Amino acid sequence: MAFIPTAYIASAQPEQRRRGDLWNNRNQPIVTRLPEGELRLSQSLGEQLLGLLPRLGRFARGLTGSTEDANDLVQAACQRALEREHQWMPGTRLDSWMFRIVRTLWIDELRGRKVRQGRGVVDAEEEIVVDGPRMIESRLTLDAVRRAVATLPDAQREVLLLVCVEGLSYRETAETLGLPMGTVMSRLARARLAIARLTEDNKDRADEPSNVVRWS
Amino acid sequence: MPEPDENSLVAYVDGELDAAMAREVERWLETSPAARNTVAKLRASAALVRAAFADAVHEPPPAGLVELLQTAAKRPRPARRYALPLAASIALAIGLGVGALAGVLGTRELAAPRTEAAAEMDRLLDNVAEYHRVYAREQRHMVEVSAAETPHLEDWLGRRMKGQLTIPDLTSQGLVFQGGRLLAFDGKPMAELIYKPADGLPVGLCIAFAVPGMKGAGTVQFGDLTVFHWVDNGYVYSVVGWANDRQIHAIADSVRAQLHL
């Protein structure tokens, strides 16, 4: 349980934005009031999605744990966004809307399909084991982190990715996922401590003397 | 303050606490090695996770998706539904507009082929609907200049639209004039006049400059919003609101009978 009321969370306060401006997915104005009172705009949804693709791909990669699934997911999410363009309120953040679509599609549709096909399921205990000498390469450490992320429950993983990787505030994460802020915090804390524990376990193994040296 | 739990520590690490709460947590950290240890773990794990997915942004997007989006970027709303305009609403009898059109439009637009004019109309109506969706929900700032300043509004928007603007009276349609706003489309000014029924959502009348090749009239549905538009003498007029075709057309007829821009 969170003992701090939401009121103490800085991002719970609505952002102060200039009235009359509309905002894009990076929190920059897409429609700006010029000094003479005229407005200047703007990008179409297609253009904005193009700019957002790298981040959508990264979020999908984190959710699915596989590049192939991530590609399917991003493709499906963009198609859905174009079909439902009228549901997007310009002036609200496109990234949050897209993350929500990606996540909903993954949970509701694609993930089930992958599981039924016998793919996309990671066995936590087996996958997380990384033998010692490999840990000296940080690239492989990060591999271990990605596997640790994959072992988290979906509910924790999506919060972790949105906050730590995509840089959303707690408030934005809560809105994107439709969760209370306290739930965002507790899932995030549990996920972060789990990642620390899992990678710590690996480090302990790495510190153990080992005469097996594998450079792969 | 009780000893901070994991939730407040993670909020502290992520800079999500306000200044006073953050100071409280820092006071605790000075006295609690366990809390310091937890903070170190929360900090390190965030850095690891960020680093682990940093490269994922450089992976190429799926083949075909970029093309799909580029096509969509040119034609922003492929999924819209068009309805045929009512015969009654096509009659364009009133002399509208004295726009010095050539002076307003660049040569690029003048050279635009017919099909581009249709795409341009799509984009224009799109913008009309989106602006209305945004501004009509503002309670206190729905309009820029209120109905109380009607003479100023007529003068100002009229000058911007290069014509003589008389605000149409739509009380016969149960609509009370609220005021207006200056918008922009493709770098050119666009005026929106906003009206409200006694109870219900606002209705907008938008006036924009037409580009050569734009013509006719029609109804377009944007989700729950209905937009009826017609082109006359260098201007595109559109009536937009959360109402059915019949109501929107009746309003448009009333506008056309009165507007002498």
pLDDT tens sequence across B13-44: 999 998 888 999 999 999 999 999 999 999 99
Of A39-48, A83-92, A194-203, B156-165, the poorest mean pLDDT is in: A39-48
CATH number for the domain that contains residue A201: 1.10.10.10
Examine residue A90 and state whether it is found in any structural domain, yes or no.
yes
**In chain A, whose CA is at the least distance from the CA of B130?**
A90
> If you measure CA to CA, which chain A residue comes closest to B160?
A38
| pLDDT reading at B138 higher than 50 | yes
User: Do A99 and A132 fall within a single domain?
Assistant: no
The predicted model scores a pTM of 0.51
Q: Do A107 and A144 share a domain, yes or no?
A: no
Residues A114 and A55 in one domain: yes
Three-state DSSP string of chain B: CCCCCHHHHHHHHCCCECHHHHHHHHHHHHHCHHHHHHHHHHHHHHHHHHHHHHHHHHCCCCCCHHHHHHHHHHCCCCCCEEECCCHHHHCCCCCCCCCCHHHHCCHHHHCCCHHHHHHHHHHHHHHHHHHHHHHCCCCCCCCCEEHHHHHHHHHHHHHHCCCCCCCCCCHHHCEEEEEEEEEEECCEEEEEEEEEECCCCCEEEEEEECCCCCCCEEEEEECCEEEEEEEECCEEEEEEECCCHHHHHHHHHHHHHHCCC
* Mean pLDDT, range A112-137, rounded to an integer: 45
Q: Are residues A75 and A101 in the same domain?
A: yes
Same domain? A89 vs A145? no
- Report yes or no on A155 lying in a domain: yes
Higher pLDDT, B118 or A70: A70
Nearest to B202 by CA among B220, B177, B172: B177
Pick the CATH number of B81-258 from 3.30.200.100, 1.10.1740.10, 3.40.50.2000, 3.40.50.300: 3.30.200.100
Give how far B202 is from chain A: nearest CA, Å: 17
Q: Is residue A29 part of a domain?
A: no
Q: Mean of the pLDDT values across residues A145-152? A: 93
Residues A66, A137, single domain; the answer is no
pLDDT winner (highest mean) among A91-100, B69-78, B236-245: B236-245
Between A131-135, B139-143, B168-172, B237-241, the lowest mean confidence (pLDDT) is in A131-135
The domain boundary, picked from A103, A121, A139, lies at A121
pLDDT of amino acid B82: 35
Lowest-confidence segment of A111-115, A179-183, B134-138, B143-147 by average pLDDT: A111-115
Average pLDDT over residues A160-167: 94
Q: Tell me the residue type at B67.
A: E
CB contact under 8 A, A9 and B17: yes
Asked whether residue A11 is domain-assigned, the answer is no
Burial group, residue B135, by CB count within 10 angstroms (0-12, 13-18, 19+): buried
For residue A190, which residues of chain B lie inside 8 Å, CB to CB? 6
pLDDT at A213: 41
In a domain, A175, yes or no: yes
Beta strand B203-209 with A29-33: parallel, antiparallel or unpaired?
unpaired
pLDDT at residue B102 tops 70: no
Across the interface, whether the CB atoms of B183 and A39 are under 8 A apart is answered: yes
- Would you call B248 an interface residue with chain A, using a CB distance cutoff of 8 Å? no
Q: Tell me whether residue A83 is in a domain.
A: yes
* Conformational region of residue A188, where left means phi above 0, alpha means psi within -120 to 50, and beta covers everything else: alpha
The pLDDT value recorded for residue B199 is 83
For the stretch A19-57, pLDDT in tens is 445 554 444 445 545 455 554 445 678 888 888 999 999
Q: What is the CATH number of the domain that holds A50?
A: 1.10.1740.10
Of all residues in chain B, the one with the smallest CA distance to A60 is: B56
Does the pLDDT of residue B227 top 60, yes or no?
yes
Q: Please indicate, yes or no, whether residues A189 and A149 belong to a single structural domain of this protein.
A: yes
CA angle A39, B100, A33 (to 5 degrees): 5
Q: How confident is the model at residue A91 (pLDDT cuts 50, 70, 90)?
A: low
Please tell me if residue B3 touches chain A, with a CB cutoff of 8 Å: no
- Where in the sequence is the domain holding A143, given as residue range(s)? 123-208
Residue (of A76, A66, A81, A74) closest to A146 by Cα position: A66
Task: Establish if A196 belongs to a structural domain.
Answer: yes
In chain B, list all ranges with CATH 3.30.200.100. Answer: 81-258
Reply yes or no on whether the pLDDT at A116 is more than 90: no
End position of a domain, from candidates A76, A101, A121: A121
**Residue of A13, A58, A41 whose CA lies nearest to A169:** A13
ipTM confidence score: 0.70
Report for A164-178, A189-203, B65-79, B100-114: range of highest mean pLDDT: A164-178
pLDDT at A9 (0 to 100): 58
**Residue A151 sits in the same domain as residue A85:** no
Evaluate if residue A215 carries a pLDDT over 50. no
**Sorting pLDDT into bands at 50, 70 and 90, what band is B101?**
very low
Distance (Å) from the C-alpha of residue A212 to the closest C-alpha of chain B? 26
Q: How large a percentage of chain A has pLDDT more than 90? A: 36
pLDDT at B67: 86
Position A31 in a domain: no
B42 at the A interface (CB within 8 A)?
yes
Contact A82 B2 (CB under 8 A): no
What total number of domains does chain A contain? 2
Q: Give mean pLDDT, residues B54-63.
A: 83
Per-residue model confidence (pLDDT) at position A22:
52
Q: Note the pLDDT tens digit of each residue in B181-206.
A: 888 887 788 899 999 998 888 999 99
Same domain, A130 and A203: yes
- How many whole angstroms separate alpha carbon B228 and alpha carbon B243? 11
- From the list B167, B186, B189, the residue with the least C-alpha distance to B178 is B167
Q: Name the pLDDT band for B164 (thresholds 50, 70, 90).
A: confident
Residue A114 sits in the same domain as residue A147: no
Let me know whether A101 and A131 are in one domain. Answer: no
Across residues A141-161, what is the average pLDDT? 92
Amino acid letter, A205 = R
Do A111 and A127 have their domain in common?
no
| Domain boundary, last residue among A121, A152, A184 | A121
Question: Which residue would you say has higher pLDDT here, B70 or A190?
Answer: A190
